[in-house]
Amino acid sequence: METTIYYFSGTGNSLKIAKDLADKFEDSELKPIAKIWDLENLESKSEKIGFIFPLYWSGLPKIVYEFIKKIDLSKSNYFFGVVTSTGDINEQPLQQLDRILKTKSKRLSAGFYINMPNNYIIGVDIHSEEKQKEFFEKAIKQVEKISKIIKNKEENLTQEILQKDVKRSEGVNKDFLERVYESDKEFYADDKCTSCGICENVCPVNNIVLVEGKPHWQHKCQQCLACINFCPEKSIQFGKETLKTQRYHHPEITVQEIINQKK
């Protein structure tokens, strides 16, 4: 393959971008990070490598961070990252990618941000359907521009971007990476739970098991919020933070596609 795109997605935003971008290339493949991140001897042989993922606490999701550190990229020469976000944009995730790649004697060639609807519903409600539509329409145009840059192997990252002071963001993300596994202690299922098992199935890291028909979290959470957003009964809650918030997943991404990330 000329281009391989590795993606991570909890509620479909990053998966939608990854699918649309892959469709722009004649010789490309999509690989879900959740399916392969814990395998031994990870290696990529494509000329161009892309990483598409959501912004988590000012930086990389832990699963993405660990995956990129682990994979052998010695046979690849062009690297790009696409970060989906609700608008909280900073240079930190691109700097993280570049630093990891430099430990492998590589560097990040291009980086992009695409704003998508909010799915982090812990205390912050989702965007209106009208606003979601605006995000989607703008994303289509952005993907078109990004695909042209990648096809031509252009570089769009200046030293100003890669060396900008992001100490505050570094601290926020470092704390997140250290604590995220235990962050699931506030999750629970209320009386509306029907024991359907969707939460167990959509969890990309198998962090949920049903015990007597109720979900139990196993403290290896990634905070992707797939479980809470895909629950058909809106039964799963996070403390009191989500009692008044609605749920969101990308309307063009099915629950089965999220489940297939790890199969």
DSSP 118-129: ----SSSPPPPH
User: What pLDDT shows up at residue 84?
Assistant: 97
Give the position of tokens 């999509």.
30
User: What pLDDT shows up at residue 163?
Assistant: 82
Average pLDDT, the chain: 95
Q: What is the pLDDT of residues 107-125, one digit of tens each?
A: 999 999 999 999 999 979 9
Mean pLDDT for 129-136 is: 98
Where is average pLDDT lowest: 87-91, 103-107, 243-247? 87-91
Task: Classify strands 214-217 and 236-238 as parallel, antiparallel or unpaired.
Answer: unpaired
User: Where along the chain do its domains lie?
Assistant: 3-165, 177-262
pLDDT at 160 over 80: no
More confident residue, 159 or 59: 59
Answer left, alpha or beta for residue 177, where phi above 0 means left and psi between -120 and 50 means alpha: alpha
User: What pLDDT shows up at residue 165?
Assistant: 82
Q: What is the pLDDT of residues 181-239, one digit of tens each?
A: 999 999 999 999 999 999 999 999 999 999 999 999 999 999 999 999 999 999 999 99
d(CA 46, CA 71): 13
Task: Report phi then psi at 230, rounded to 5.
Answer: -95, -5
Where is average pLDDT lowest: 18-32, 101-115, 147-161? 147-161
Is the distance from CB of 67 to CB of 6 less than 8 angstroms? Answer: yes
For domain 3-165, say whether CATH 3.30.360.10 is its number.
no
| Residue 52 token pair | 């598409």
Under DSSP, is residue 159 helix (H, G, I), strand (E, B) or coil?
helix
User: What pLDDT shows up at residue 94?
Assistant: 95
pLDDT at 35 over 80: yes
User: What pLDDT shows up at residue 42?
Assistant: 95
pLDDT at 89 over 80: no
| Residues ≥6 apart with Cβ < 8 Å to 118 | 86, 124, 125, 126, 127, 248
In the CATH scheme, what architecture does the domain 177-262 have? 2-Layer Sandwich (3.30)
Mean pLDDT for 132-137 is: 98
d(CA 3, CA 6): 10
| Residue 252 token pair | 């063009």
